[in-house]
Structure 1
Amino acid sequence: MSRTPPRLTAAQVALGIRRAGGDVFTTRRLILALKTAVAAAIAWFFAPLVPFADAEYSYYAPLGVLVSMYPTVADSLRAGIQSLIGLACGIAIGFGGLALVAAGTPGIAGLALVVLVGVALGGIRALGVGRDWVALAGLFVLLLSKNDPDGFSSSYLATMAFGVLVGVVANVVLVPPLYLQSARDRLSELRAAVVAALDRAADSAGEGEPDAGSLREDGDALAEMAMAVAADVDEASRSERANIRARGIGGVRDENAQRWWGLERATYLTRDLLDVLAQHDRLDERHGDPALLEAALRRVAELMATPPVDDEMGERVDAAWQSIDAYAASVPAVEGTGDPHHQPGVWLAATLGRITDISRRVSAALA
């Protein structure tokens, strides 16, 4: 029997390209780059007008834009605030270093102490991205403030704050990012990958000789894709916050959340199923009837391939249950003193049943 051409190939290629090239040429990345460039130019132009700041330090305004410009509005606001808090802490440390130097401490010792304290305080996780600015700001104050530490520090903080403000406003006003549709597409890719893995497992079951290497490769690919999709779904959720474009699209958000709930579990169960099949070079009587196992895997794959709100969902759920029941009947019963862990057929039938039930629940929730 010839093997079914792996449908996972396209998903694996897409994932490989995504991991290698990142988001450099994606529309969302180019829009973010353009918005950042515009915001940096605006911040640079108006920085000399910032109160309590010397125009000599206007170059910190574009830097403030860079530290605050993130793919989502919520992330931009959080990163901007965290960066400013980190800067304030660093400036305080820098003043401490200046006081030590003024009291007679050697300059090199003052520098070392500022860096030591700054790096140590950078371990405060609550500071987020601001952790990286504590030691840097302290070092800047110590080395660059010259004879006017107060003027430098106030200019540094005020100009950076202005840049952060411009960056956040730009992210809110200039095409605020919303990634719900992107997350929906990624969920569909993951569903297709699960379907392909189940089809490959059905091939192995039909031949009676599981290809352990192929099955484990599919399991690893599903794990990698699931992690990537989880990040995309989380980013899509964050992109709604403080986003004027998110009004009236709660249905898409709820649909994505429900689909991810089901796919996360179905992916885990599919990987577990692949692992059970890969543990044996040949299927024996403990696995039940190979033909019935193949049929059950095919029906569950067809069920997973069906969109949750499809009219045929109910029929495919019933077909999957019938195939699973027929396969389960061919699996040797576990004796009272037997170890169920040594009955792979029992585990396979139970896992297929869990995937089917999860698909049914997601469909019912979205109906």
Structure 2
Amino acid sequence: MSDFRQSLTPARPSGVLSAVYRAWLSHPRWSLAVKGAVAASLAWSVGLVAPAPFAEYPYYAPLGAVLATTSTVVRSVRDSLQSVAAVLVGAIIARAVALLPLPGPLELTVVVGLALLCVGWRIFGEMGSWAVMSAIFVLILGSGDGADYIGSYAGLIVVGAAIGIGINLLLPPLPLTPSELALGRLRDGLAEQVESLAGWLENEGPLAPDEWERRRQQLVPTVERARTAVAQTREASRANVRVRYKGNQHWVDSQTRRAGALGVSADVVDEIVRLLVEWEREGRDDVALGQQLRPEFASTLRALAEALRTAVTRDAGNDTDAAKEAAKEAAEAVDRLDESIEGLRQVVRTAQRSSEYDYFVAGALIVKLARGADALRA
């Protein structure tokens, strides 16, 4: 573990307990499962002792509890409100259709059809499917005592959700470790692809389009997972008491900055590969680089890879010696990248003066590299 990580995370036990603790932090679903199970058990107990008619349907309370504990604090409140709204709409649809003189199969068809129309309503967000489930339950199970059933159904979900929200407030999720790992995989994946590209240009020459298109596509899931993980951490940090202590706010801010830098870097690497696949490929006479520029461009790519690998620690939000040393190392790597880009720029200008080619694509590649350097410097 890097000094940066050590400076931002709480002290950990050693030995077997340390391994278990790291595994626990790396798999936030484990804590969600525990919290969800506890919340569901509490909600079930409350449902059993609730006054009539609620006690007749205690199994609906755990639904609300599980819903509220399987997401972030802010989202659990929003999802709970949206699900209750969807439940009420589904129940109203079922009761309204039940008043019509329709045979059973047709009645169910109409209820499900109308409920499905409501699924996509923006007000329900991702909870629109609850309208369909509610409509079917109310139609089939609540035909005898519709008002009591609807009230119990919606009320118990609200109670269960309140219990789940309370547990979430006491033990809010903050998946910093998974997002840190996702950023690390993205950083390593980008650096490895850039280094492989440099080695190919040095040893193989023009790119094989199919091979490099496949490599480019292989990196896309890594980019998306990192963006999703950091977005989840940012959302989890809202209304989260854990952010305010043990350096977690520094860690959240650091991840946000590094996610932005690595996101721009991912776009830069993707654009460079696409340009080279199109313009530095076998069978083209007007290649982007040619034998004269490939070595210099490969050298600059290696400088970019070095800057990517060191940039992971430069945003440490504290004053420790390790953080300062990491920031210095990263800044020096970006400075070397700037120098390499400037050297490449001079080589391209010289090649333009002594050749019939315009090297416009080489100039575009330099612009991409400079954008990557700016992102890692920010």
Instruction: Identify whether the pair has TM-score above 0.5, normalized to the shorter chain.
Output: yes
Counterparts of 1:148 and 1:317, CA distance in 2: 71
Aligned to 1:117: 114
2:93 aligned with 1:76 = no
Aligned to 1:311: 328
- Which of 319, 323, 337 pairs up with 1:320? 337
Matched, 1:182 2:178: yes
Q: What's the secondary structure of 1:241's corresponding residue? A: coil
2:342 aligns to what SS in structure 1? helix
The residue that corresponds to 1:233 in the other structure is 230
How far 1:339 moved relative to its partner?
10
Q: Is the 8 A contact 2:25 2:178 kept in 1?
A: no
Q: Which residue pairs with 2:241 in the alignment?
A: 244
Does the aligned pair in 1 maintain the 2:68–2:76 contact within 8 Å? yes
C-alpha displacement of 1:129: 3.0
Number of the residue aligned with 2:32: 32
- State the Cα distance separating 1:90 from its structure 2 match: 0.9
**Aligned residues between the structures:** 332
- Note the 1:114-193 alignment, pairs <5 A: 114-173=111-170, 175-193=171-189
Q: Tell me if structure 2 keeps the 8 A contact 1:50–1:162.
A: no
Q: 1:224: which partner in 2?
A: 221
Cα deviation for residue 148 of structure 1 reads 1.2
Change (3 A) 1:134 1:334: farther
Query: Residues 55 and 330 from structure 1, CA distance in 2 versus in 1: closer, same or farther, beyond 3 angstroms?
Result: same
Aligned to 1:202: 198
Cα shift at 1:134: 1.1
Q: Distance in 1 between matches of 2:38 and 2:368?
A: 53
Letter in 1 for 2:191: V
The letter for the 2-side match of 1:195 is A
Partner of 2:302 in structure 1? 298
CA contact (8 A) 2:37 2:66 kept: no
CA distance in 2 between partners of 1:140 and 1:24 (Å):
38
What is the rounded CA distance, in whole Å, between the counterparts of 1:275 and 1:314 in structure 2? Answer: 28
- Partners of 1:191 and 1:60 in 2: how far apart? 45
**SS at the partner of 1:281?**
coil
Structure 2 counterparts to residues 353-364 of structure 1, below 5 A: 353-361=370-378
Deviation digits for residues 162-209 of structure 1 (CA, Å, limit 9, x no counterpart): 111122222222x32112343233222211111111101111121223
Q: Once superposed, what is the RMSD of the aligned Cα atoms?
A: 2.6
Change (3 A) 1:107 1:199: same
Q: Secondary structure at the match of 1:105?
A: coil
The answer to whether the Cα contact below 8 Å between 2:26 and 2:178 also exists between their aligned partners in 1 is no
- Unaligned 5+ residue runs, structure 2? 1-22, 315-325
Q: Matches of residues 2-81 of structure 1 in structure 2 within 5 Å?
A: 27-51=27-51, 53-81=53-81
- Residue of structure 1 in register with 2:19 after alignment: none
Percent identity, aligned pairs only? 26
Query: Is 1:84–1:160's contact at 8 Å kept on the other side of the alignment?
Result: yes
- Is the alpha carbon distance of 1:79 and 1:285 closer, same or farther for their aligned partners in structure 2, counting shifts above 3 Å? closer
In the alignment, what sits opposite 2:6?
A: none
| Letter aligned with residue 263 of structure 2 | E
TM-score relative to the length of structure 2? 0.80
Contact 2:25 2:177 in 1 (8 A): no
> Structure 2: which amino acid aligns with 1:224?
P
